[in-house]
Amino acid sequence: MNSEILIVDDNADIRYLISGLLKDKGFDVREAANFKQAIAEINKKLPDVAVIDVKLDKGDNDGIELLSYIKKIDKDVPVIMISGHANIQMAVDSLKTGAFEFIQKPFDAERILNFVYRALENYSLKKENIKLSSKLFHSYEFIGETTDILKIKSLILKLANTESRVFISGPAGSGKELIARKIHKQSNRSNKPFVIINGALLDPEKYEQELFGSENNEVINYGVFEKAKGGTLLIDEVSEIPLETQAKILRVLIDQKFKRINGVKEINVNVRLISTSTKNIRHEVDQGNFREDLFHRLNVVPIEIPSLKDRTSDIPLLLNYFCRKISELNNINPIKIETPLEFLNHYEWPGNVRELRNLVERASILAKDEKNFNLERIIKDSLIYKKEDEKIEKDSNVFSYPLKKAREQFEKSYLTAQLKRHRGNISKTADFVGMERSALHRKLKSLGIKGIN
């Protein structure tokens, strides 16, 4: 299929010139002579590249408004801005709004062709990266053989041919989004959009616009309920959405329709809704932070994912799986886990499965450059330093300490961790930290650190 270019200019000669140039090179070309026609063409179908004059018929810089409109629909679509009355500020405004390039009239044919080719190449690379990223995410499996995980796997299969709403609870990094994607992938909606909105990351003043969209004259901003049409909408961290907006979501679920902000037309809802939360949603309801009636609407099928520390028997499975997977994705030799790493069962895993995956990736990268690779040492170092860093960070007074006291605090945490790592062996600890054995003894005594077994 040929790439499609949209040309927006109120000057018929300019449209004719650019259109003829692009058609000669095999492009499909659409044209718009004013703001209203441009909106109609954009709403009909987004082009692969848009070439837009800064000043049309609607008012000063209305081409910038079109640029902004396109970027709200798809920020990756390249837009080349042109102007016969250009100044530096106009160019800066265009580029800040997301223009791929800014060209001043008159321009030669080779220059505009060059920009179009570069824009298409850039857009193609971005689409390929998005596709690859989606493929990588979809390629991860939900790994585990504990009773809770097997129940979740069975439930995902049962949900495949239903339209039931699902509420997924679990700590950060436990795999809530992965489960939501698996449900979508195995459903009858799998060839339709999977759209995510995160309640914790939204601007509080734009909740409703993000959810339901808005209208401003002929300009339409689509919300996620429309973007996910026919597919699945994942509301991540739904407990962070304000009560007032919760009431409007409830109304949408009851009526199965809504109006855009400033809109008059009712839009029918056709999405499968999945919600997630890291908080105890029942507690949030009891505290009055979340509407109970909305909770019951969302919580048709609840799924609760345990933390990794509560399913440590799955750690060996996850380690081996991530070793293979990261090897495939990064085209490197897989690291081998030859001995059981019992100490992993005693770690708290605050980042859950995501933290374990990152740990394996870090070890895989470090293993490439180490002649005497020791997986256990790399993992222990990562976990010990992380744990001690978190311990120091949690001490809110440390930043108000004088330098000497802060240094002592760090030395105490560091040497305690190293002693634990070497099972209380003073000689091995001294060798590792680069101190004489007698000097380490004196340091431990001055810091009040007793022997560790």
Specify the pLDDT at position 369.
56
168 and 297 housed in the same domain: yes
How many CB atoms lie under 10 A from the CB of residue 15? 19
Kindly state whether residues 361 and 291 are assigned to the same domain. Answer: no
Evaluate whether residue 232 is within a structural domain: yes
135 domain residue, yes or no: no
173 with 88, same domain: the answer is no
Same domain, residue pair 369 and 285? no
Helices of type H across 194-351 = 207-212, 224-227, 243-255, 281-286, 292-298, 315-330
Position 176 in a domain:
yes
pLDDT, position 74: 83
Residue 440 in domain: yes
In terms of domains, do 242 and 373 share one?
A: no
pLDDT at position 177 is 92
406: domain CATH number is 1.10.8.60
CATH number, domain with residue 266: 3.40.50.300
Tell whether 105 is covered by a domain.
yes
CA dist 392 and 398 (Å) reads: 7
Same domain, 155 and 237: yes
Q: What is the pLDDT of residue 8?
A: 93
pLDDT tens sequence across 344-362: 887 788 889 998 888 888 7
Asked if residues 22 and 50 have their Cβ atoms less than 8 Å apart, the reply is: no
Q: Which of 71, 98, 128 is the last residue of a domain?
A: 128
Residue 394 lies in domain:
310-447
Whole-number Å distance between alpha carbons of 400 and 403: 9
Per-residue model confidence as pLDDT tens digits over 14-72: 999 999 999 998 899 999 999 989 999 998 888 999 999 988 876 666 888 899 889 88
Structural domain ending residue among the three candidates 278, 306, 334? 306
Query: Which has the closest alpha carbon to 165: 287, 256, 51, 104?
Result: 256
98 and 212 housed in the same domain: no
78-82, 402-406, 425-429: range with lowest mean pLDDT: 402-406
Same structural domain for residues 124 and 191?
Answer: no
131-140, 230-239, 287-296, 409-418: least confident range: 131-140
pLDDT at 232 over 90: yes
Predicted confidence (pLDDT) at residue 409 exceeds the cutoff of 80: no
pLDDT-derived band at 299, boundaries 50, 70, 90:
very high
What pLDDT sits at residue 392? 42
> Final residue of a domain: which of 241, 274, 306?
306
329-332: Cβ within 8 A, 24+ apart: 329/136, 330/361, 330/364, 330/365, 332/364, 332/365, 332/368
| Model confidence band, residue 248 (pLDDT cutoffs 50, 70, 90) | very high
Above 60 in pLDDT, residue 399? no
Mean pLDDT of 290-295: 96
CA atoms of 243 and 255, how far apart (whole Å): 18
Q: Structure pTM?
A: 0.61
* Confidence category of residue 156, pLDDT binned at 50, 70, 90: very high
Is residue 133 assigned to a domain?
Answer: no
Q: How many domains does the chain have?
A: 3
| Collapsed DSSP state (helix, strand, coil) of residue 427 | helix
User: Does a structural domain hold residue 434?
Assistant: yes
Q: Which of 138-147, 169-178, 439-448 has the highest mean pLDDT?
A: 169-178
Say which range, 38-47, 269-278, 292-301, 336-345, has the weakest mean pLDDT. Answer: 336-345
In this structure, the answer to whether residues 85 and 189 fall within a common structural domain is no
pLDDT band at 212 (very low <50, low <70, confident <90, very high): very high
pLDDT confidence tier of residue 269, bands split at 50, 70 and 90: very high
- 317 and 440 fall within a common domain: yes
Question: Do 277 and 422 fall within a single domain?
Answer: no
Q: Are residues 172 and 302 in the same domain?
A: yes
